[in-house]
Amino acid sequence: MLRSKSRSRALDVGAKHHRSIVSRTLSSSKICREDPLIDKNALVSIDRRPSAAKIISASENQLVRVSTMQRQMGRIEEELKLTKNQLDAAEHDRDRALDELQESKLMEHEANSRLTEALSPGRSGKVLAELTTVKELLSDSQKDLAAKEKYIESIKLELDKAKQLENKLADKLSSLGRLEDELRIARVSETRAMDLCAESRKRVAELEAELKELKQSKSDVLGSEASLTKEFEAAKIELEESKRQLVSLHDQLQKLQSSSGVSSREQNGIKLSDGIDGKSEPGQKSATSMVVAPQSEIEVLKKQLKAAIEGEEQSTKAMNDLALALKEVATECNYAKEKLISTESELDKYRKLLDEEKKEAELHRNTADRLRLEAEESYLAWNGKEKGFVDVIKQVEEEKVRAQQENVKLKESLEKAENTLKEAENSLHEAENTLHEAENTSRTAREENEKLRDVLKQAINEANVAKEAASIAQQENSELKDSLVDKEKTIDFLARENDQLKFDEAAASERIKELERLLSEAQSEAKTEDKDSGIAFMSPESLFDDHKEDYNKREDYSKKEATALKKGFSFDLHRIKLHNKYQDEDDMLGEEDPIKADALRGSIFDPSTRTPRSEAHTPKQASKHHHHHLPHHRKKSSLSNIDTVHLEDLDHLDVDSQHDSEGTSEESEADRQAHRKKKSVALKNFGYLLMRKSFTQHTGHTKKESSILSPDHE
């Protein structure tokens, strides 16, 4: 509201300023029209205005009120600072109490955790009773803490209210500061207006005196001008009379000259007559008297003429002087008129300025009245708010006293809780001692269990069979002993199975011999086909060398993938994969040697047990992809067996390959290289078939209990 009022006042002042500019332009137009500028009524109205002393006294009263309000505000600010300090102290006490509560909660949590760890079904009832008492004490302390937290929250709310009141007070202080600034500005503008009024009055008086002087000088100039015009007219009349006299004198002179000429002639005649006749003296005397009389008149007339000429010269000089004086008077009149016009324009301007200053003085007086009323209203409102603040401060002090009392109670309750916590800690120490004993016993049991686990891990690494023994070994000692007995039985069984593998190797050697016979027959058939198609086999030595190089590369690759080798073709009782293609051959083995079949029945090498085929080792893929390397996820023992098979049984291939090489010596080297590549691929596939057969013999017998088959693989 105050800002809007100040803006409206600024707009009013701006509008009045524009009005003053318009009035100045109008006054200038009046000066141009040579209208009368000084208005006697306006001059009288200035004296009728209220004196500036009253305005100054009103502004001084406002300043006194504002100073009293500032003092009251200073006192209130000091009281607020005191309340702030008290509230800060209360907040510090509250924070300290909260920290103590948090510490007690942490201790309680630790005690509960320790108690939960320490409690067991075999403990005595005494510890349980102590724990229940401690829990009850802790629950009571928690309730007290919750009540204290609620009280602290209420204190926080009251503090927020006090802060809000403080913010409102700061806003009021800022509004009072703005009012003081506006009052200061109004006072300065009022003093400026009063100074301008005094200056304008002085200037108006000076201008009026100048106008009077100008009027007097104008009247004097007009009088002198009138007298000069009269003198000029009289001089003109005298000039005309002197001109007439001169004309008459000229006429007389001409007459006299004519009469003097006649008289001179007469005189000459008389002299002649005197000289000739020399007779009569009375005639001569009369003639001389007649001649002397006009000469005297002529001299008189000459003197008059000289005097008239001198008077005419003097009159011309006087006329020139009068003309110069008239010119000077005219210039002085023009200067006086210009000065009068300028003074009238200045007078009009100062009159307008005086009117504007009057309006501004009225505006400032109105603003001062309004500010005084606003200050009184704000003072009254501030008194009411001050009373409210005092009441609030009293309430805060009372609440502070209550809070201090409650803090004392809280401290006492906290001391009690600390005592109870100390007792609980003592009981917890006892429980910790018992827990340490239990931990020692459990540690010894764990060590024993770890030893047993190490033994079991060694057994698992040797046989890869006891993966479930880790979960069984974590149970009780009786179960561990039973599991150890089972593991010993399984180890004995694995030894028997290893013995059985030796018999299987012998059977595999016999089968390899049969396969060699079949291979020789197949080679003989292949020779006939190769002769027809122009293809020959390589020598067995080159075949073996190529196969050996390929095998060495594959062995290096298999070393890098040791984990894959173990998972692919290891003696794992849970993850054994079979190739069902050779099940017919296993059946044939059972028919040929029923004693061995009965011995292997029920063991891991029982051919009746089936395992899912590995898609990566199917013979279809082997036949389709002759030019690709097949995977070698096999055990080293089986590979060593295959090496012996190759070294012993590839002698027949050497002979056949030699005959083939002799028969194909007439071919070109390019054809030989192509045939060699084809032969190497075929022999590699054949060696792979032998290895697959040996692996199926070793891995085709599993226990029915350990075979975990899915319906998709079956």
Q: What does the pLDDT read at residue 536?
A: 43
Q: Which of 126-135, 295-304, 567-576 has the lowest mean pLDDT?
A: 567-576
393-414 residue pLDDT tens: 788 778 778 877 877 777 787 6
d(CA 611, CA 569): 12
Cα dihedral angle (447, 449, 455, 456), rounded to 10 degrees? Answer: -150
Q: What is the CA radius of gyration of the chain?
A: 75
Q: Which two tokens stand for residue 587?
A: 């059946």
Q: What does the pLDDT read at residue 116?
A: 63
Q: Which of 456, 485, 454 is nearest to 468 (CA)?
A: 456
Q: What does the pLDDT read at residue 21?
A: 41
- Does 497 score more than 80 pLDDT? yes
pLDDT band for position 16 (50/70/90)? very low
- Does 242 score more than 70 pLDDT? yes
67-121 residue pLDDT tens: 776 676 677 677 767 767 777 776 777 777 677 777 767 776 776 676 666 555 5
- Per the model's pLDDT, the better-predicted residue between 531 and 574 turns out to be 531
pLDDT band for position 646 (50/70/90)? very low
pLDDT band for position 256 (50/70/90)? confident
Which residues make Cβ contacts (< 8 Å) with residue 650, sequence separation at least 6? 540, 543, 544
- Does 570 score more than 70 pLDDT? no
CB 634 within 8 A of CB 569: yes
Report the amino acid identity of residue 712: D
- Per the model's pLDDT, the better-predicted residue between 13 and 682 turns out to be 682
Look-up of token digits 């409206």 = 8
CB 379 within 8 A of CB 71: no
pTM value is 0.24
Q: What does the pLDDT read at residue 62?
A: 62
Q: Nearest 5°: CA angle at 282, between 281 and 285?
A: 90
Q: Which of 126, 112, 94 is nearest to 421 (CA)?
A: 112
Q: What does the pLDDT read at residue 654?
A: 44
CB 179 within 8 A of CB 65: no
Tell me the average pLDDT across 607-623: 41
Q: Which of 85-94, 140-149, 177-186, 642-651 has the lowest mean pLDDT?
A: 642-651
Residue 579 CB neighbours (<10 A): 19
Q: What does the pLDDT read at residue 649?
A: 44
Element (H, E) at 618: none
pLDDT band for position 713 (50/70/90)? very low
- Does 362 score more than 80 pLDDT? yes
Q: What does the pLDDT read at residue 593?
A: 52
- Does 545 score more than 70 pLDDT? no
pLDDT band for position 196 (50/70/90)? confident
Q: Which two tokens stand for residue 549?
A: 């190089």
pLDDT band for position 555 (50/70/90)? low
Which range, 405-419, 505-519, 575-589, 610-624, is most confident? Answer: 505-519
Which range, 41-45, 183-187, 662-666, is most confident? Answer: 183-187
Average pLDDT, the chain: 65
Q: What is the DSSP letter of 580?
A: G
Which residues make Cβ contacts (< 8 Å) with residue 43, sequence separation at least 6? 204
- Per the model's pLDDT, the better-predicted residue between 661 and 92 turns out to be 92
- Per the model's pLDDT, the better-predicted residue between 17 and 188 turns out to be 188
